[in-house]
């Protein structure tokens, strides 16, 4: 019986030990998940505070928001980072710069070589901090992180299981860092912020502010009354007075903050209204100028169209005149050739043809539109030759034509 009871006791103990081992594993997994979630959440808050602060002042090394962000990013990149194994089998601590230096080589125009060659930065941790500042000034921090995370083989070589850069949080990290490209940073790479002798410490107090609602404030007042009345029988209203005074001060401070926010919002509203009026004036001016330009374009198109029609009409008239002049040349040639073979009795018929030719040439006058647009053609030699056809000097009498050596048939 005793052996059985001991066996059962030992069995229960062994079973309890197995349950304790499973509980430890689940507890460690839960702690690792909470740690990763806390770092990612705080990183998101720090990015938001940086963006808000950049609207009012320049972000540099003296900005507490940036120092906190740099510490958060350094701890994220150092989360579960493997140590460097020496020749003797010992594992020495390693900085995240060793991982960034290898994984970010593929980034175009990267700053890895320039940071490696910096004279005033010697330690690996200081080089990592200098890289964060240079990447922010170059507006390429998100690109560096995305490129490093895509190199999964190198990431597995440098980090242990459960690291943030190996989990689903890594994609969130690259996305939230993209908003920092809109900020203009200004850093000095010779300050105390690059000192690699001290680890980075995160300040959680800016993100742990608790704002109570109106319901919670009323319940707190009731709790203060109950605590003050039940603390001791000899308690007097004077003992309960200080909490109410503190509440009044808190209400006064809250109203003061609300008033400041209201004034700031009112100033921003006036600025935006003035900016809106300015943009509306610029838009109206642009619209009026656009209308003027469109009217000019329409007028020029109409003028070009009229000019084209006039030129086409002139071309038709020139073609008609050219045909008439060619017919006159043929008639004159026929008359001159026929006069050589005709007798004096037939010369009268030739004179009749000549008169009809002169009448045709006299009836065909220059087009007024041609003279108006192209100018006077009296100085042109070809025009002289054409107008000379109107006179009877060119068409001589039959006797003179017969005696002329230039008009004798060959």
Question: Which of 51-60, 86-95, 97-106, 306-315 is the least confident region?
Answer: 86-95
Question: Mean pLDDT score of the chain, rounded to an integer?
Answer: 75
pLDDT tens profile 156-197? 999 999 999 998 888 889 889 999 999 999 998 876 667 777
End-to-end CA distance of the chain: 162
Q: Are 167 and 34 in contact (CB under 8 A)?
A: no
Backbone φ and ψ of 180, nearest 5°: -75, -10
DSSP bridge pairs for 159: 81
Q: Does pLDDT of 200 surpass 80?
A: yes
Between these two residues, 305 and 200, which has the higher pLDDT value? 305
- What was the pLDDT predicted at 349? 54
- What was the pLDDT predicted at 30? 87
- What was the pLDDT predicted at 397? 43
Between the alpha carbon of residue 315 and those of residues 66, 319, 370, 385, the distances in Å are 79, 6, 9, 21
Q: Are 60 and 186 in contact (CB under 8 A)?
A: yes
**Tokens representing residue 86 in the block:** 């020496």
Q: Are 94 and 84 in contact (CB under 8 A)?
A: yes
Question: Which of 88-97, 291-300, 308-317 is the least confident region?
Answer: 88-97
- What was the pLDDT predicted at 74? 95
Between these two residues, 303 and 347, which has the higher pLDDT value? 303
- What was the pLDDT predicted at 255? 86
**Tokens representing residue 260 in the block:** 């400041």
pTM: 0.49
pLDDT tens profile 339-365? 776 655 554 555 555 555 555 445 444
pLDDT tens profile 61-73? 889 999 999 999 9
**Long-range contacts, 389-398 (Cβ 8 Å, 24+):** 389/328, 389/332, 389/361, 390/358, 390/361, 390/362, 392/354, 392/358, 394/332, 395/332, 395/335, 395/336, 395/354, 395/357, 395/358, 398/339, 398/342, 398/344, 398/347, 398/350
| Sign of the dihedral defined by the CA atoms of residues 93, 97, 102, 104, in that order | positive
pLDDT tens profile 243-294? 334 456 678 877 888 888 888 888 888 889 988 999 999 999 999 999 999 9
pLDDT tens profile 99-143? 999 999 889 889 999 999 888 888 899 999 999 999 999 999 999
Q: Does pLDDT of 16 surpass 50?
A: no
- What was the pLDDT predicted at 104? 93
What average pLDDT score do residues 223-232 get?
A: 52
H-run or E-run covering 92? strand 91-92
| Sign of the dihedral defined by the CA atoms of residues 389, 391, 394, 395, in that order | positive
> Residues in the chain, how many?
410
């Amino acid at each position: 019986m005793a052996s059985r009871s001991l066996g059962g006791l030992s069995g229960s103990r062994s079973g309890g030990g197995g349950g304790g081992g499973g509980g430890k594993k689940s507890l460690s997994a839960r702690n690792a998940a909470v740690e990763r979630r806390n770092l990612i959440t705080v990183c998101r808050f720090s990015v938001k505070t940086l963006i808000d602060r950049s609207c009012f002042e320049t972000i540099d090394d003296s900005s507490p928001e940036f120092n906190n962000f740099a510490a958060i990013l350094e701890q994220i990149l150092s989360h579960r980072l493997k140590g460097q194994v020496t020749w003797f089998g010992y594992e020495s601590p390693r900085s995240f710069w060793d991982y960034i230096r290898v994984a970010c080589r593929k980034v175009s125009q990267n700053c890895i070589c320039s940071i490696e060659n910096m004279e005033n930065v010697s330690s690996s941790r200081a080089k990592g901090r200098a890289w964060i500042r240079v990447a922010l000034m170059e507006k390429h921090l998100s690109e560096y992180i995305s490129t490093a995370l895509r190199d999964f083989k190198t990431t597995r070589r440098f980090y242990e299981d459960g690291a943030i850069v190996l989990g689903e949080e890594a994609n969130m990290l690259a996305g939230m860092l993209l908003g920092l490209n809109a900020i203009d940073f200004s850093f000095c790479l010779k300050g105390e912020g690059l000192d690699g002798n001290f680890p980075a410490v995160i300040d959680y107090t800016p993100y742990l502010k608790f704002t109570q609602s109106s319901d919670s404030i009323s319940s707190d007042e009731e709790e203060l009354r109950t605590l003050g009345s039940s603390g001791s029988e000899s308690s007097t209203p004077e003992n309960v007075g200080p909490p109410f005074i503190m509440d009044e001060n808190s209400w006064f401070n809250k109203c003061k903050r609300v008033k400041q926010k209201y004034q700031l919002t009112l100033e921003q509203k006036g600025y935006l209204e003035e900016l809106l009026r300015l943009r509306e004036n610029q838009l109206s001016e642009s619209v009026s100028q656009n209308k003027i330009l469109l009217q000019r374009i329409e007028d020029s198109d109409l003028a070009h169209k009229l000019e084209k029609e006039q030129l086409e009409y002139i071309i038709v008239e020139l073609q008609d005149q050219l045909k008439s002049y060619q017919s006159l040349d043929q008639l004159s040639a026929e008359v001159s050739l026929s006069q050589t073979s005709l007798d004096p009795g037939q010369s009268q018929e030739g004179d009749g043809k000549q008169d009809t030719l002169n009448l045709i040439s006299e009836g065909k006058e220059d087009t007024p539109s041609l003279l108006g647009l192209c100018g006077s053609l009296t100085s042109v030699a070809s025009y002289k030759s054409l107008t000379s056809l109107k006179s009877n000097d060119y068409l001589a009498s039959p006797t003179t034509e017969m005696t002329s050596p230039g008009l004798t048939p060959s």
